[in-house]
Structure 1
Amino acid sequence: MSATVTRAASAGDTAVAVVRRVARARETGIALALVVVIVAATAANPGFVFSGDGFRDLLLTPSLLLLVAVGQAFVIITRSVDLSVGSIVGLTAYLTGRLFIDTPGIPMVAVFFGGILLGGLLGAINGVLVAWAKVPALVITLGTMYVYRGLNVAWTGSDRINASDLPRDFRGLGTQQVIGIPVLTVIAVAVLIAAAWYLRNRRGGREFYAIGSDPSAAHLYGLKVSSRIITAFVVSGALSGLAGVLYAARYGTVSSAAGTGWELQAIGAAVIGGVAISGGVGTVWGAAIGAFLLLTINRALPILGIDDFWQRAVVGVLIIGSIVLDRVLAVRQHRRLVAQREEAR
């Protein structure tokens, strides 16, 4: 009897601990903010959610940015940043169209592989320059952002990919649904779950956090800092490549402007989602919720009658507020650790 009571009490304590952990998580606050935005927009216009297109767009629109934000989170966790992701999306989106046009009958899987491979290769270039040349990631990726975009413009020229150039089955990925959920959203969530599992459960994932928290200590501990940084950029590039392929499926039309501005949106989504710009803190779950919040706000504010200027201002305030909050939490944690050390003495 006592053993049963003990187990029940232990289970209750565990449940309480889980609830407290979830309540204190940054991701919970961002998720609640997302819910508030959706409720407010739905109250103003029920079609925002309660219509076929409204519900579909609510899930579909942020899916591509989610992929890019997850890759960006890997890089930011290691105390770097990747400004070239938008250009990579544009390059791989155009590559996707050219593969279908220049190679009739090419398998869809081969096209996906080609886009991810190109994205990973461009990400590897970034990683090698950052890790081995010891040049700040902000400077390197700012340069490669313009280089990759220039290559895209030179390759595309005045040409563009039209929906009629793409196979019907491929275009169908942008509209098909599984149990009412868009296929692109299913793909994005599958990638999100895999990335979250890796960062939480694998040694390599935990090493990303160690490097971002203190690169010098990680070197002294014997971690392969350079290879991990390169890996983070490869992941970022590969996911941007995947997003580029899905961009072509989603929109059908691809020009040299595809992906423009996505780098700032991805960084904003990650930061809003609790990924500290100083590295070592945050989750891909937060980056994903940040992507949903960012694009849902962009859709919701016009419905609420808010001018375009204020739409951009709201996003800016969210980013600044997230950075300030990260700083405040870091200072509080430092003071708590100092207090605990003094008590131990």
Structure 2
Amino acid sequence: MSRATLTDTPPVAKASTGTARRGLGRTFASREFSVFAALAILLIVTTVANPRFLSPQGTKDLLLNSAIFVVMAVGEALVIITRNVDLSVGSILGLTAFSTGAVYAAVPTMPLIGIFVIGIVLGAILGAVNGLIVTTAKVPALVITLGTLYIFRGINNAWAGSTQYFVGDAPDEFGNLSVQTVVGIPLLALIALVVTVVFALYMYGARSGRDLYAIGSDPTAAALFGIRVNARVVTAFVASGALSGLAGVLYASRFNSVGADTGTGYELQIVAAVVVGGVAIFGGSGTVAGAAVGAVLLTTMTGALAALNVSKFWQQAIVGVLIIAAILITKIISIRNARKLRVSEAKNV
């Protein structure tokens, strides 16, 4: 009979250790971790080159500039996961931001919660328009939302004209949103964090959230399994519009003025942030947390390149390289996973 020694490891402990190691390995191999690591390296390198980059005020500016993009990226991620895309998010932000100024001009005593409700509801309605057209017309979302991008922008241009609303025209409590802090963290950044956590938990724990992944992987198979594909896709567009509406309200508080051109060009930056953050442009994979980190990475990169005196042209070129690299990496990973699945199935046979 063999006798156990003090150095022997119980089978349960070995199993738990192996599980922990595999979990840790998956974390380090995840796209989200690689994006976070890239962000950390970018911060370190830029701070070494320009120590003022992460000064207290510099850090605050980075968080404030990232907050609006994070909120929009979370909503865009929901749509892209379903194998669609929403190119109208910048126009929705612009329309809701100008609406915020118009409401305060007409009703200066509007409560703070009221202006947030108006912005979110308006954004949700515009998102519902996108979702309903996409699901009923059976036309690619890229085409539909490219059209609504111009429609929403045209409405804003016709409404705004040359009019601009300034943050000083709103009540002090609204303008102070962009300067208020909680334990040193800007309030806008905390709002973005709450949005990210809420939707991350929704995608992880709610059945309707998991349905979005199934739809993005294979819409036909998802329908055969009883998933209401059209309803889920419309819901994703509504959420994207609502979050863009929220971002519009935050924008109106953050920046000095809003007008007809507010939010122009944001849509491409948001899509870029989501793709760089690990959400597959082909749908079916990725996380809203990754999209949020991608938004922070792109915003930080813009600030870092500016701090290093890199020209704006090269800033845009580098972002373009990042987008292409992210898409290629996603494609390579999907091919590798498919190959592993075929090998595993062959062994089981």
Question: Which band: TM-score by shorter chain?
Answer: over 0.9
Which one-letter code corresponds to 1:158 in the other structure?
S
1:264 and 2:268 are equivalent in the alignment? yes
Residue 340 of structure 1: CA displacement? 1.2
Distance 2:56 2:218 in 1: 48
Which one-letter code corresponds to 2:297 in the other structure?
L
Q: Does the residue aligned with 1:276 lie in a helix, a strand or coil?
A: coil
Residue 312 of structure 1: CA displacement? 1.1
1:318 and 2:317 are equivalent in the alignment? no
Paired position in structure 2 for 1:106:
110
Distance 1:213 1:14 in 2: 27
Equivalence map 1:207-222=2 (5 Å)? 207-222=211-226
Which one-letter code corresponds to 2:332 in the other structure?
V
Paired position in structure 2 for 1:254:
258
1:14-62 deviation digits (Å, cap 9, x = unpaired): 432321121011011111111111111111111111x221110121111
Which one-letter code corresponds to 2:340 in the other structure?
R
Question: What is the Cα-based RMSD across aligned positions, in Å?
Answer: 1.6
Equivalence map 1:28-107=2 (5 Å)? 28-49=33-54, 51-107=55-111
Q: Is the 8 A contact 1:117 1:241 kept in 2?
A: yes
Specify whether residues 277 and 101 from structure 1 end up closer, same or farther in structure 2 by C-alpha distance, changes over 3 A only. Answer: same
Paired position in structure 2 for 1:19:
24
Residue 5 of structure 1: CA displacement? 4.6
Residue 164 of structure 1: CA displacement? 2.0
1:64-95 deviation digits (Å, cap 9, x = unpaired): 01011110000000000000000000000011
Distance 1:105 1:306 in 2: 45
Distance 2:225 2:15 in 1: 37
Q: Is the 8 A contact 2:272 2:323 kept in 1?
A: yes
Q: Is the 8 A contact 2:278 2:290 kept in 1?
A: yes
Residue 11 of structure 1: CA displacement? 4.1
Residue 154 of structure 1: CA displacement? 0.6
1:190 and 2:194 are equivalent in the alignment? yes
Paired position in structure 2 for 1:119:
123
Distance 1:60 1:21 in 2: 31
Which one-letter code corresponds to 2:139 in the other structure?
V
Q: Is the 8 A contact 2:120 2:245 kept in 1?
A: yes
- TM-score under structure 2 length normalisation: 0.96
Which one-letter code corresponds to 1:47 in the other structure?
R
Residue 306 of structure 1: CA displacement? 2.3
Paired position in structure 2 for 1:134:
138
Calculate percent identity across the aligned residue pairs.
Answer: 49
Which one-letter code corresponds to 1:127 in the other structure?
G
Which one-letter code corresponds to 1:31 in the other structure?
F
1:246-284 deviation digits (Å, cap 9, x = unpaired): 000111311111111111011000000010010001000
Distance 1:195 1:247 in 2: 21
Q: 1:327 aligns with which of 331, 339, 343?
A: 331
Distance 1:183 1:43 in 2: 28
Distance 2:36 2:340 in 1: 27
Which one-letter code corresponds to 2:175 in the other structure?
R
Q: Does the residue aligned with 1:317 lie in a helix, a strand or coil?
A: helix
Between 178-187 and 294-303, the greater mean CA deviation after superposition: 294-303
Between 104-113 and 140-149, the greater mean CA deviation after superposition: 104-113
Residue 100 of structure 1: CA displacement? 1.1
Paired position in structure 1 for 2:247:
243
